[in-house]
Amino acid sequence: MLRSVRQIRQYAPDPVPAEIVEQILDVARWTGSAVNSQPWHFIVVRDRVSLVRLSALRAPIEWLATAPLGIAIVLSGASPIAEAYDEGRVTERILTAANALGLGAGVAWFGTEEHQTAAKRILGVPADRTARSIVMIGRALSRRDPRPGARARGRKARAEVVSYDRWGSRT
Ligand SMILES: Cc1cc2nc3c(=O)[nH]c(=O)nc-3n(C[C@H](O)[C@H](O)[C@H](O)COP(=O)(O)O)c2cc1C
């Protein structure tokens, strides 16, 4: 199952039931973090106006407004490197939890510092916090990437990304 988790960018508008959202939030808050710091705060964004404003920040994330809901990840900003790692971990768990519950999910990065500042204003996040991404969740309409010039979605061959015992040893 895990191997088939993909970035979804086209959603049906039906709302995600509150109990499903809570299950996903519980998976998220139980994610491990550096020294168990749990540097995150999650904003469940359902408000259409906010979603449309976030989607307008930059072209590669325009699709996000098709989803009924997103979970924005806000970090304390105290330990940027550890928090970036923790953010990746929690993002992946939200994606896999959504999939396990029969939904699709996809991450959108707000973009540059200026875009992040704008996103924080839209979501009412204090300026000293870090907020650079939102994970969209909903019923997947398609796995296709609707963006013009979408990249290939395959993966490098196992032999290209794996060594055994020492760098470059293929066996
Ligand atoms: C750090 C990070 C930022 C991402 N930002 C965006 C984004 O802003 N917009 C977008 O459409 N996809 C974004 N993605 C999703 C990637 O494009 C996606 O993981 C990759 O293309 C593989 O997709 P697939 O698993 O469906 O093949 C991001 C992924 C990561 C890990």
Cβ atoms of residues 4 and 61 within 8 Å = no
Domains of the chain: 2-161 (3.40.109.10)
Distance 166 CA to ligand 1 centre (A): 30
Cβ atoms of residues 86 and 92 within 8 Å = no
pLDDT in tens, the chain (171 residues): 799 999 999 999 999 999 999 999 999 999 999 999 999 999 999 999 999 999 999 999 999 999 999 999 999 999 999 999 999 999 999 999 999 999 999 999 999 999 999 999 999 999 999 999 999 999 999 999 999 888 888 999 999 999 999 999 999
* DSSP-derived 3-state class of residue 11: strand
* Tens-digit pLDDT profile for residues 121-137: 999 999 999 999 999 99
Q: How many CB atoms lie within 10 A of CB 162?
A: 10
Distance 70 CA to ligand 1 centre (A): 15
Distance 60 CA to ligand 1 centre (A): 10
CB of 93 shorter than 6 A to ligand 1: no
Taking CA atoms, 146 is separated from 7, 11, 51, 130, 134, in Å, by 12, 11, 18, 29, 18
Give the DSSP H/E element, type plus range, for residue 83. helix 80-100
